[in-house]
């Protein structure tokens, strides 16, 4: 029964070449000072985006990124069969409320900061199988809503420890279609939950690096490829410290990704100063992928990219109850 051409290990292969035919990103004011400034479709001057709460601003950014991805691809709502989305907020309210703005079905995900790769992976599965013609994959985050929910309200003015990262204010989305031109989604590797016992909620990079290493290695094994086969191995938001750890962990297992590893969290801010280890959040890899990376791929500058967004699956309750941080990374292979 099983079509073994379609999967091996934890990797699924897309023989019908679903394509990312359109993409868009919107970012906050601080983010626009860095690489996103030249590549994002919209850079906000006001991180409240004209709304009365951080959460509403986050939702509006996500909705805008989706609208822009449709618009840039020449699509209307009728062209879209379903949307995969999720975010960091409790009960993914940004995604659920953004979905209310669009007249197509919604399949809600939660995978923390690995939502961008999980949504592309599932979207490509549906398009490749013929279940859907065009799927939206999108996510985002907001610094202020994430701080308030996961750590402390900004008004408290708490000091951040040096291992901390800075949640990106921004959202990104794309359309995956069975027709039209664009970057192909060639395969995807489903991640397993990895927990190395890290309990420091300020050290997401260290917590998530093992999950990234695990799925990247699984992907390389399943596809019989080596790190050099990729122009870029792009992790989501490990930051500077987490990026060192993922390079070490993969190297220990015989895979040297050091020459072509890039982390969205490491490159998103112009000067990593107040942000310490760099950017994080579901919006980090969503904005970098859906602006800088896909633009460069469409321009032919990168031909093969392995995109491994990474997620820390903790909550304030789980941390408060003394639990360590289970993490996950889903991988998609993108090719021009």
Helix (H) or strand (E) holding 221: helix 204-223
Least gap, CB of 295 to a second copy (angstroms): 25
Classify residue 103 by burial, with Cβ atoms within 10 Å: 0-12, 13-18, 19+. exposed
Positions that interact with a second copy (CB under 8 A)? 1-7, 10, 12, 16, 52-53, 55-56, 81-82, 86, 88-93, 96-97, 99-100, 103-112, 118, 122, 125-126, 128-133, 149, 178-179, 190-193, 195, 313-318, 321, 323, 326, 328, 330
Phi-psi region of 281 (alpha: psi -120 to 50; beta: other; left: phi over 0): left
Least gap, CB of 54 to a second copy (angstroms): 10
Least gap, CB of 281 to a second copy (angstroms): 13
> Closer CB to a second copy, residue 149 or residue 225?
149
> Closer CB to a second copy, residue 141 or residue 243?
141
> CA 288, 289, 291 angle in degrees (round to 5)?
70
- Judge contact between 309 and 116, C-beta under 8 A: yes
Helix (H) or strand (E) holding 45: none
Q: How far apart are the first and last CA of the chain?
A: 32
> Closer CB to a second copy, residue 126 or residue 305?
126
Least gap, CB of 313 to a second copy (angstroms): 4
> Closer CB to a second copy, residue 232 or residue 306?
306
> Which two three-digit tokens encode residue 91?
């009960």
- Judge contact between 40 and 287, C-beta under 8 A: yes
Least gap, CB of 35 to a second copy (angstroms): 29
> Closer CB to a second copy, residue 16 or residue 29?
16
176 forms beta bridges with 20, 135
């Amino acid at each position: 029964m099983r079509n073994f051409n379609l999967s091996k290990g934890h990797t699924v292969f897309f023989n019908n070449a679903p394509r990312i035919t359109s993409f868009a990103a919107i970012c906050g004011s601080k983010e626009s000072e860095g690489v996103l400034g030249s590549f994002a479709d919209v850079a906000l001057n006001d991180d409240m985006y004209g709304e009365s709460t951080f959460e509403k601003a986050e939702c509006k950014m996500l909705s805008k990124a989706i609208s822009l991805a449709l618009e840039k691809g020449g699509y209307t709502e009728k062209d879209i069969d379903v949307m995969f989305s999720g975010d960091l907020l409790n009960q993914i309210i940004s995604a659920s409320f953004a979905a209310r703005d669009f007249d197509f079905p919604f399949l809600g995900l939660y995978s923390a900061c690995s939502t961008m790769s999980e949504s592309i992976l599932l979207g490509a599965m549906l398009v490749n199988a013929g279940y859907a013609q065009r799927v939206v994959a999108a996510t985002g985050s907001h610094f202020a809503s994430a701080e308030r929910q996961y750590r402390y309200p900004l008004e408290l003015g708490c000091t951040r420890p040096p291992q901390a990262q800075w949640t990106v204010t921004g959202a990104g989305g794309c359309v995956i279609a069975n027709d039209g031109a664009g970057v192909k989604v060639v395969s995807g590797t489903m991640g397993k939950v990895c927990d190395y016992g890290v309990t420091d909620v300020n050290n997401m990079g260290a917590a998530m690096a093992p999950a990234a290493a695990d799925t990247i290695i699984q992907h390389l094994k399943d596809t019989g490829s080596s790190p050099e086969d990729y122009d870029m191995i792009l992790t989501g938001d490990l930051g500077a410290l987490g990026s060192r750890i993922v390079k070490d962990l993969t190297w220990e297992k015989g895979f040297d990704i050091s020459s072509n590893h890039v982390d969205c969290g490491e490159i998103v801010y112009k000067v990593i100063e107040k942000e310490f280890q760099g950017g994080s959040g579901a919006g980090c890899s969503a904005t970098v992928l859906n602006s800088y990376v896909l633009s460069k791929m469409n321009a032919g500058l990168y031909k093969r990219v392995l995109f491994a967004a990474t997620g820390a699956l903790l909550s304030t309750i789980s941390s408060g109850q003394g639990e360590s941080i289970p993490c996950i990374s889903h991988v998609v292979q993108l090719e021009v």
